[in-house]
């Protein structure tokens, strides 16, 4: 009788096409057998009974900011990767800014890679940066293994990661196209946002509503239209991150229909939080682009349901609590970034599956399969199949819980989702065949001290 490292029995296995009960056998970090409808006749060093639970391919979070090296007081690989594991995420892509030095050349990439090799409890990949001073470094970054390139069309908020002007981004896109890679963009208009913000602040209008109005949807639309024209000219593959409105998504889908090689991401916070949350919760709910109103949230869900969105990613962008404080009612000065990577699947299950009847198969597509396909990781990632990596999330859909700050594995235990009631709880996360999270605990590595 065959002996495996791990067998998961009696679970409801979720794929793009179906949900079927079966057993999964794992050895040497790979899925070796998937038995549907009958018990797998084999032994294992360990067995997990997943009866009544659902087994999903581990999430692939293509958009996190772990800030290491250089800013681990904000978040680091150790705490960040643990928060992902607790949320059923088995692979992440770390953004090139926020760390010091930023990932804009091979030397800096290797520093970041060394941190992840030492500390991460899940799989990791890295974005390279496109900034005005590093176009000559694009090829070496690509050859060193970056998953793609990231540029800001408006100021990033990080002094050593400059946003790109039109000439830089056009030249950069030509270079990225020549090596067959992809450019991801933060698409907001510098002119629109800066002018509106200056006018608001000159009038001492600094409320949550004022901040949101200084970064309107039309700012995203203008930047997206501009970058699409550059993509059509250069042939560069394009990925628009954190679209906050279906109006933005519609522009992207029109370009797709013309044959432009473009995809779009949105984030759980744009699907679950509104301007009212920003007003009530304060800086902990501030992000860029800002949260929108209820109607925009519902329209964005329509885009998800209709297949207009390619990827759901967290855009986890943490900071110490003092940086999120809104002092004297001035929302412009608080750090703009939401801590949310641990809650992506919870939001998709609660808001999507239970509240809006979004099929589990669609959630798997958006959070795992599509990201894996888009970035060349499929079928090793993003699917439960023989010879795929054994990256899995086991979820109890019958269990509800209130998220408390002490449940968070972030370095700083704050999030706009604290206090929310979620339905569907991750019970076990498996990375390369190894259980890394189980029943509320990280099961690998050493215990660490986190800050409130």
Q: Which residues are registered as beta bridge partners of 46?
A: 6
In tens, the pLDDT along 25-60 reads 999 999 999 999 878 889 999 999 999 999 999 999
Return the pLDDT at 432: 98
| 29 within 8 A of 388, measured Cβ to Cβ | no
Domains and CATH numbers, the chain: 3-56+385-397+423-442 (2.30.40.10), 58-374 (3.20.20.140)
Q: What is the per-residue pLDDT across 334-366, written as a single tens digit (0 to 9) for each?
A: 999 999 999 999 999 999 999 999 999 999 999
CA separation, residue 207 to residues 218, 235, 270, 286, 326 (Å)? 20, 41, 20, 12, 9
Query: Could you give the CA distance from residue 4 to residue 28 in angstroms, rounded to a whole number?
Result: 9
**Alpha carbon distance 52, 64 (integer Å):** 32
Q: Cα(321)–Cα(356) distance, rounded to whole angstroms?
A: 33
Which pLDDT value is given to residue 451?
53
Backbone angles phi, psi at 37, to 5 degrees: 80, -5
Q: How far is CA 12 from CA 34, 101, 140, 215, in A?
A: 12, 44, 44, 43
What is the overall mean pLDDT for the chain? 96
CA distance 358 to 390: 25
Sorting pLDDT into bands at 50, 70 and 90, what band is 403?
A: very high
Instruction: Specify the pTM.
Output: 0.96
Question: What does the pLDDT read at residue 155?
Answer: 86
Which pLDDT does position 424 carry in this prediction?
97
Model pLDDT, residue 214: 98
- What is the pLDDT averaged over residues 204-228? 98
Predicted pLDDT of residue 2: 82
Give the mean pLDDT of 221-229.
Answer: 98
Q: What is the pLDDT of residues 199-208, one digit of tens each?
A: 999 999 999 9
| C-alpha–C-alpha distance, residues 214 and 229, integer Å | 25
What pLDDT band is residue 448 in, cutting at 50, 70 and 90?
low
Residue 22: the pLDDT is 96
Query: In angstroms, what CA-CA distances link 76 with 102, 154, 170, 402?
Result: 14, 25, 33, 25
């Amino acid at each position: 009788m065959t002996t495996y490292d791990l067998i998961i029995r009696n679970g409801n296995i979720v794929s793009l096409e179906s949900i079927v009960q079966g057993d999964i056998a794992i050895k040497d970090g790979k899925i070796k057998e998937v038995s549907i409808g009958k018990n797998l006749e084999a032994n294992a060093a360990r067995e997990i009974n997943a009866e009544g639970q659902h087994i999903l391919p581990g999430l692939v979070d293509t958009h996190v900011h772990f800030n290491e090296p250089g800013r681990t007081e904000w978040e680091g690989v150790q705490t960040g990767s643990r928060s992902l594991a607790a949320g059923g995420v088995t692979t992440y892509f770390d953004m090139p800014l926020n760390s010091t030095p930023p990932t804009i050349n091979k030397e800096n990439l290797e520093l970041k890679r060394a941190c992840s090799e030492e500390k991460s409890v899940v799989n990791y990949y890295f974005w390279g940066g496109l900034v005005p001073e590093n176009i000559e470094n694009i090829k070496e970054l690509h050859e060193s293994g970056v998953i793609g390139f990231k540029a800001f069309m408006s100021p990033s908020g990080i002094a050593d990661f400059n946003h790109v002007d039109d000439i830089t981004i056009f030249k950069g896109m030509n270079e990225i196209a020549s090596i067959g890679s992809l450019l991801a963009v933060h698409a907001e208009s510098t002119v629109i946002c800066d002018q509106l913000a200056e006018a608001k602040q000159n009038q001492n209008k600094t409320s949550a509503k004022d901040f949101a109005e200084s970064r309107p949807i039309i700012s995203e639309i203008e930047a997206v239209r501009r970058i699409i024209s550059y993509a059509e000219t250069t042939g560069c593959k394009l990925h628009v991150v954190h679209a906050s409105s279906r109006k933005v998504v519609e522009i992207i889908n029109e370009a797709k229909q013309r044959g432009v090689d473009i995809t779009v991401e949105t984030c759980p916070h744009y699907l679950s939080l509104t301007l009212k949350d920003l007003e009530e919760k304060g800086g902990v709910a501030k992000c860029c682009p800002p949260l929108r109103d209820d109607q925009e949230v519902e329209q964005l869900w329509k885009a998800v349901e209709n297949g207009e969105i390619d990827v759901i990613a967290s855009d986890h962008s943490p900071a110490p609590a003092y940086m999120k404080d809104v002092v004297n009612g001035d929302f412009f000065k608080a750090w703009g970034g939401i801590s949310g990577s641990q809650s992506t699947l919870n939001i998709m299950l609660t808001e999507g599956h239970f509240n809006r009847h979004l099929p589990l198969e669609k959630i798997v597509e958006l959070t795992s399969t599509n990201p894996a396909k888009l970035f060349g990781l499929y079928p090793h990632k993003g699917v439960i199949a023989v010879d795929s990596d054994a990256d899995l999330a086991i979820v109890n859909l019958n269990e509800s819980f209130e998220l408390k700050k002490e449940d968070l594995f972030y370095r700083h235990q704050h999030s706009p989702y604290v206090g929310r009631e979620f339905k569907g709880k991750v019970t076990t996360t498996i990375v390369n065949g190894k259980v890394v999270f189980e029943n509320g605990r990280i099961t690998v590595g050493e215990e660490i001290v986190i800050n409130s």
